[in-house]
Amino acid sequence: MEGLVCKSIYKTYDGRVRALGNISFSLPDKGIFAMIGRNGAGKTTLVRILSTELIPTKGSATIKGLDVVKDPSAVREIVAIVPQEARAIPWLTPKQTIISYLLYRGMGYSEASKRAEESLKKLGIQKSSNKLNRLLSGGTKRKVLVATVLASEAKVIFLDEPTTGLDPISRNDLWKLLKDLKDDYLIFLTTHYLEEAEKLADKIGVIEKGRLIAMGTMEELRSKVEHQYSIRILGDSNPIKTRKGVTVKGIDGTYQILTSESDAFEIARELIKKKIKFSTNPVSLEDIFYYLVRKPIDEDSGVEEGGWR
Ligand SMILES: Nc1ncnc2c1ncn2[C@@H]1O[C@H](COP(=O)(O)OP(=O)(O)OP(=O)(O)O)[C@@H](O)[C@H]1O
Ligand SMILES: [Mg+2]
């Protein structure tokens, strides 16, 4: 069964701000999906529509067969969201935060209390269970919100930038937890950390100016770019003049050659001969992202003639 289906969603705010144009895609009912895109690309708008917070200007979407516009209350029973701007209520404790959310969703008190404890433990913040949220660090506050949605019975979870503000270790812990959950949940997250999407997601969508410009597994995204291999020269000079690919200079002054797999081997041989240190890898999501968002959007992006409505 499809977990989530978006059919030609458009959103224009106040009749003039075009936030989304013709977004269509589908996802299975389990696994991790990451939506990446620049500030203002439309990620939060899409998440808000799918979690029934916002009505699209045009188009429809279903989650596990339930229509987000026609049947929002049924959808709300099976989805839970941590919005981008969500803050844990300062004068509650993490445990109270989770329990009140679960009571609000219709769960009984003793079940809610049991689930709250389990979820706080899963997130590794059980020691803070009974402290006031306002006394917790920013990252722990964020974890309280994630613990809150994971304590619910919802199996479709939207996390809008869940790891913003987390330290590298906490971020890694959350990645591990989400990975463990992906056999039972559909987790839809947005992120600016491309490494996070690359490591975590089964499928990645790239949104740019409200349009879905690419979507697929890492391998599928890699097949959309001109050069699939990257060679990084260690050092701040470029000793190789090659026309087999493109050479770009990073802000740290190092050079990167983007090329094909076979040309990468040839260039690597030349570098070895010259005793120049380098590393070679398939292109990363970061390379792919830069390539895709710099490419002008063409007719294939699915935007109807005459623009958005
Ligand atoms: N409530 C609103 N009213 C009017 N315009 C809005 C509203 N919310 C968002 N927008 C506009 O819609 C567009 C998409 O915004 P959105 O918040 O969905 O982007 P985003 O990809 O989540 O960005 P970020 O990475 O900064 O969170 C932007 O042009 C934004 O200014
Ligand atoms: Mg956003």
Each residue's pLDDT tens digit, 169-210:
888 888 988 999 999 999 999 999 999 999 999 999 999 999
Q: Does the pLDDT value for residue 301 go beyond 50?
A: no
Decide: 235 in ligand 1 pocket, CB within 6 A.
no
Confidence of residue 295 (pLDDT cuts 50, 70, 90): low
The pLDDT assigned to 256 comes to: 86
Decide: 48 in ligand 1 pocket, CB within 6 A.
no
What whole-number percentage of the chain has pLDDT above 70? 93
What whole-number percentage of the chain has pLDDT above 90? 64
Decide: 16 in ligand 1 pocket, CB within 6 A.
no
What does residue 76 show for φ and ψ, rounded to 5 degrees? -60, -25
For the CA of 17, the nearest atom of ligand 1: 5
Distance CA 224, CA 130 (A): 50
HSE, side-chain direction, 13 A CA sphere, residue 209: 12
The pLDDT assigned to 304 comes to: 34
Please tell me which residue, 174 or 115, carries the higher pLDDT value. Answer: 115
**Considering just the CA atoms, what is the radius of gyration of the chain in Å?**
22
Rounded distance from Cα 128 to ligand 1 centre (Å) = 33
3-state secondary structure of 85: coil
Distance CA 90, CA 202 (A): 35
Confidence of residue 110 (pLDDT cuts 50, 70, 90): very high
Confidence of residue 299 (pLDDT cuts 50, 70, 90): very low
Topology of domain 2-222, CATH = Rossmann fold (3.40.50)
Ligand 1: residue whose CA is nearest its atom 1: 13
Rounded distance from Cα 149 to ligand 1 centre (Å) = 23
Q: Does the pLDDT value for residue 308 go beyond 50?
A: no
3-state secondary structure of 1: coil
Decide: 43 in ligand 1 pocket, CB within 6 A.
yes
| H or E element at residue 198 | helix 194-200
Q: Does the pLDDT value for residue 157 go beyond 70?
A: yes
From the CA of 38, the nearest ligand is 1
Q: What is the mean pLDDT of residues 75-84?
A: 95
Ligand 1: residue whose CA is nearest its atom 3: 13
The pLDDT assigned to 242 comes to: 67
Rounded distance from Cα 46 to ligand 2 centre (Å) = 9
Q: What is the mean pLDDT of the chain?
A: 90
Q: What is the mean pLDDT of residues 232-248?
A: 76
Ligand 1: residue whose CA is nearest its atom 7: 13
Q: What is the mean pLDDT of residues 22-30?
A: 96
Mutate to test the pocket of ligand 1, among 14, 23, 39, 81 (most ligand atoms within 8 A of CB): 39
Cα 205 to Cα 107, 112, 201, 220, 288: the distances in Å are 34, 34, 10, 11, 12
Q: What is the mean pLDDT of residues 145-160?
A: 95
Cα 65 to Cα 28, 50, 56, 70: the distances in Å are 12, 13, 18, 11
Q: Where are the extended beta strands (E) located within the chain?
A: 2-13, 17-28, 31-36, 58-63, 66-67, 79-82, 156-160, 186-191, 203-208, 211-216, 229-233, 246-249, 255-259, 278-282
The pLDDT assigned to 302 comes to: 36
Ligand 1: residue whose CA is nearest its atom 4: 13
Decide: 164 in ligand 1 pocket, CB within 6 A.
no
Each residue's pLDDT tens digit, 36-73:
999 999 999 999 999 999 999 999 999 999 999 999 99
